[in-house]
Amino acid sequence: MQLMPGTARDSQVVDRFNIQQNIDAGTRHLKILLDRFEGDVRLVIAAYNAGTGAVTDHSGIPPYPETQRFVFKDISAWQKQQKDQRWSYDEAAPVPSDSEPPPRR
């Protein structure tokens, strides 16, 4: 993940390029954003890109072309992944409607 110096400092990260510290701080930061924006993934992605202040100041996704492209691209990729996973699971293990689904491995 890309951690900005201020985010790293707030998360008490010593080395932003240390994989363990980076992922730990990045996931904590995303959790904070999810809580702050009440689970609105679009606003979380926008805040990750443009900063929390920009999202708050604009009461939504800021009108910055880079941020708007970033949000659109990430949401599109996420939706495609969700669709592919559902298709993959449904096609790989069809379950008759009168039986229990197979246990996950």
Between 101 and 18, the higher pLDDT residue? 18
Segment 8-60, tens digit of pLDDT: 888 899 998 999 999 999 999 999 999 999 999 999 999 999 999 999 999 99
* pLDDT at position 79: 87
Classify residue 63 by its DSSP letter: S
How far CA 88 is from CA of 36, 79, 85, 92, 99, in Å, comes to 33, 14, 5, 6, 20
* pLDDT at position 90: 52
Report for 9-13, 68-72, 97-101: range of highest mean pLDDT: 68-72
Query: How far apart are the C-alpha atoms of 74 and 68, rounded to whole Å?
Result: 10
Between 81 and 21, the higher pLDDT residue? 21
* pLDDT at position 36: 96
* Cβ pair 44, 37 in contact under 8 A: yes
